[in-house]
Amino acid sequence: MTKKDKEYNVGSEDTSSKEGRFALDQFAEAMSKPGPEEEAFFARRRERGLGVGLSEDGEIIYARSPREK
């Protein structure tokens, strides 16, 4: 390992330990849910009729018709 590699790896955590896996699981859980800012952002987009989504059939649907812009 070169000196540069050692500098790059300083502070990196070993996720193979039980504690590391627990922290990684907590992080993944936290990132899987939208935060308040994200909720507000998408609420404003919905109010403005912006964005797209998928129907139950997998078809792209718009909040409003593209021709209404």
3-state secondary structure the chain: CCHHHHHHHCCCCCCCCHHHHHHHHHHHHHHCCCCHHHHHHHHHHHHHCCCEEECCCCCEEECCCHHHC
Give bridge partners of residue 53 from the DSSP assignment.
61
Residue 55 has pLDDT above 60, yes or no: yes
pLDDT given at position 22: 83
Against a cut of 0.75, is the pTM above it?
no
Q: How confident is the model at residue 1 (pLDDT cuts 50, 70, 90)?
A: low
Compute the average pLDDT of residues 32-57. Answer: 89
CA distance 48 to 64: 9
